[in-house]
């Protein structure tokens, strides 16, 4: 066990069971919202922000409860559902502020839908990664830095349900109760490690990144799809998945609650041609699915009717390097370069106490290594830097990794020659 782990195990943890000032009443009317906006405007300093979604229950990233805390204003809970279209005054007050969030990329899309966008950002989860913390969940970081035991348990609840139970509201208020104090602790930690500027660049990158772009062929992520062996079966998965996705989106229901992945794979493998045959399969015979039988059967019919040249390939087309498992066979020199790069990145990660994936995205490193062609060693750093700039690497990442990556590539290329 490390010295840091020993210190953590010896620390006395004080349970944080309820907000110090109690759980505030939920703001759910224009009049109460106006009062909340005034309170936030009269507060000082950064704004602690959290949002509760209904992942696993709803299709969208919509926020179903907003939590704010600011010095001088206390904690404010807002139900945005009855206040749709009434957020302009709130945005005018909080958008110019620095927001403090934990795992900001999870909540920013839903907040953005409401017109709420920070002028500056501090992410305590990412700060923990940059600080080299092994556990970066909110409860773990609060315990390590503040010595408080944060009660968890409702994060995966259906926050779209109403009314919200008191225990859920207590949990929601606690999520921002100590976030401002945590911000100060993490800022001091990063300052002591000389990583303040690194964090600032990462926070700004997250703030400006916007929502992630949908990945192509998302239907290929259907759980259990690997058991199917033919293109026609994959076409059936695609048709069923697309039909389910359209229904889930229009009804704002999580896709798995419309039709589980297992049912899609079972139907694609069994290829039922009648309603009775479809209903004989697990799940499809249940009362919820029986009334949708014709819809699912039509999707299967569309897959069967496709000409061969419109069937999806068995393997997903790659726009970049092939899977690493195939490198040794397809390009042994690239495989050797990757091994050298991984060793160098691991050494750097351990030295600066930052996870490898936060130093550079693994995909960017793979693309650099796969596409690398031997050249003058003196030009290697400039070539590596150009690739990293094009891939969106931040200045602090390039400063750390370019010399090391260039040296490893040059050495590996020279050895291969």
Same domain, 189 and 305: no
Calculate the CA dihedral of residues 392, 112, 48, 119 and round it to 10 degrees. Answer: 60
Q: Is residue 298 part of a domain?
A: yes
Q: 134 with 226, same domain? A: no
Does residue 149 share a domain with residue 240? no
Residue 14 CB partners (closer than 8 Å, separation 6+): 147, 148, 149
Q: Which tens digits make up the pLDDT trace of 258-306?
A: 999 999 999 999 999 999 999 999 999 999 899 999 999 999 999 999 9
Same domain, 63 and 115: yes
* Rounded Cα distance, 192 and 190, in Å: 5
Contact between 231 and 312 under an 8 Å Cβ cutoff? The reply is yes
CA geometry: angle 185, 210, 219, nearest 5 deg: 115
Q: For position 37, what pLDDT does the model report? A: 98
Split into its structural domains, the chain has a count of: 3
State the residue for tokens 């370019």. Answer: 402
Residues 329 and 304 in one domain: no
Q: Are residues 305 and 329 in the same domain?
A: no
Residue 319 in any domain: the answer is: no
Domain's final residue, options 160, 175, 209: 209
Q: What is the mean pLDDT of the chain?
A: 94
Who has greater pLDDT, 210 or 102? 102
CATH number of the domain to which 337 belongs: 1.10.150.80
> In terms of domains, do 72 and 201 share one?
yes
Nearest Cα to Cα of residue 141 among 125, 165, 120, 122 = 125
> Kind of pairing, strands 44-52 and 65-71?
antiparallel
| Whether residue 67 sits in one domain with residue 188 | yes
Choosing from 284, 310, 336, the residue where a domain stops is: 310
- Could you tell me if 144 and 225 lie in one domain? no
**DSSP for 121-150, written as a single string:** EEEHHHHHHHTT-S--SHHHHHHHHH-EEE
Long-range pairs of 279-288 with CB within 8 A, sequence gap ≥ 24: 283/259
317 found inside a domain: no
Domain end: 161, 177, 209, which one? 209
- pLDDT tens profile 29-39: 999 999 999 99
pLDDT value of position 417:
54
Whether the per-residue pLDDT at 252 is higher than 90: the answer is yes
Is a pLDDT exceeding 50 seen at residue 150?
yes
Q: Is the domain of 205 the same as that of 223?
A: no
Q: Which domain holds residue 236?
A: 218-310
State pLDDT tens for residues 312-341: 999 887 778 998 999 999 999 999 999 999
Indicate whether 273 and 202 sit together in one domain: no
Query: What CATH number should be reported for the domain holding residue 183?
Result: 3.30.420.10
Residues 348 and 376 both lie in one domain? yes
Residue 416: pLDDT band (50, 70, 90) is low
Model confidence over 10-48: pLDDT tens digits? 678 999 999 999 999 999 999 999 999 999 999 999 999
Mean pLDDT of 157-181: 96
Q: What is the mean pLDDT of residues 174-184?
A: 97
Distant-in-sequence, close-in-space partners of 352: CB < 8 Å, separation ≥ 6: 359, 400
């Amino acid at each position: 066990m490390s010295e840091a782990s020993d210190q953590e195990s010896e620390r006395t943890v004080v349970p944080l069971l309820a907000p110090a000032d109690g759980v505030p009443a939920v703001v759910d009317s224009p009049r109460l919202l106006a009062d909340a906006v005034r309170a936030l405007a009269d507060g000082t300093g950064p704004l602690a922000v959290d949002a509760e979604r209904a992942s696993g229950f709803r299709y969208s990233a919509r926020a179903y409860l907003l939590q704010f805390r600011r010095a001088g204003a206390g904690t404010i809970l807002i139900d945005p559902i009855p206040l749709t279209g009434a957020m302009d005054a709130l945005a005018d007050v909080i958008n110019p502020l620095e927001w403090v969030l934990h795992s900001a990329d999870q909540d920013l899309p839903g907040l953005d839908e409401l017109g709420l966008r920070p002028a500056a950002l501090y992410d305590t989860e990412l700060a923990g990664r940059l600080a080299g913390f092994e556990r970066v969940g909110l409860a773990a970081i609060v315990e390590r830095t503040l010595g408080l035991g944060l009660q968890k348990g409702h994060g995966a609840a259906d926050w779209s349900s109403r009314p919200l139970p008191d225990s859920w509201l207590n949990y929601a208020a606690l999520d921002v109760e100590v976030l401002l104090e945590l911000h100060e602790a993490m800022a001091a930690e990063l300052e002591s490690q000389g990583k303040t500027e690194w964090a600032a660049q990462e926070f700004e990158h997250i703030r400006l990144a916007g929502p992630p772009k949908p990945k192509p062929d998302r239907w290929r992520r259907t759980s259990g799809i690997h058991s199917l062996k033919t293109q026609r079966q994959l076409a059936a998965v695609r048709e069923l998945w697309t039909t389910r996705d359209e229904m889930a989106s229009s009804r704002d229901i999580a896709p798995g609650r419309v039709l589980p992945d297992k049912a899609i794979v079972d139907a694609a493998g069994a290829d039922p041609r009648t309603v009775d045959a479809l209903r004989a399969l697990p799940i499809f015979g249940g009362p919820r699915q029986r009334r949708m039988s014709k819809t699912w059967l039509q999707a299967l019919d569309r897959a069967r009717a496709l000409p061969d040249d419109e069937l999806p390939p068995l393997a997903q087309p790659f726009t970049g390097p092939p899977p690493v498992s195939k490198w040794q066979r397809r390009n042994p020199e690239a495989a050797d370069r990757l091994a050298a790069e991984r060793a160098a990145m691991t050494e750097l990660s351990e030295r600066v106490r930052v996870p490898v994936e936060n130093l550079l995205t693994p995909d960017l490193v793979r693309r650099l290594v796969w596409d690398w062609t031997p050249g003058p060693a003196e030009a290697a750093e400039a070539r590596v830097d150009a690739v990293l700039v094009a891939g969106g690497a931040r200045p602090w990442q390039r400063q750390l990794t370019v010399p090391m990556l260039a040296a490893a590539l040059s050495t590996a290329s020279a050895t291969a020659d």
